[in-house]
Amino acid sequence: MSQKIRWYKRFIVFLRDVKAEIKKVTWPSKNEVYSTTVVVLIATAFFGVYLYLLDLLFSWLISQVKAIF
């Protein structure tokens, strides 16, 4: 029974510490979130197209090499 009480008290202390740490966090503004989201979406689209084109190129090269042998 005493271990459950100790565990419960430790958990309460943990939650208080988490609350104190969250208050210290500097949260981004709406504009910062919007800007970084746009950058991530553009980068994802760019690298998706880039990797797709590389895949097409290497597939074509491998088919050409297979045709030779």
- The residue type of 2 is S
Count of structural domains within the chain: 1
pTM, entire model: 0.62
What span, in angstroms and rounded, lies between the C-alpha atoms of 25 and 45? 31
pLDDT of amino acid 17: 97
pLDDT along the chain (69 residues), means of 10: 74 95 95 98 98 98 93
Two structure tokens written together for 7:
């565990």
* 60 half-sphere exposure, CB direction, 13 A CA radius: 6
Q: How many residues does the chain have?
A: 69
Q: What is the distance of C-alpha 25 from the center of its chain?
A: 19
Give the residue numbers spanning the domain of 13. Answer: 2-68
pLDDT of amino acid 6: 84
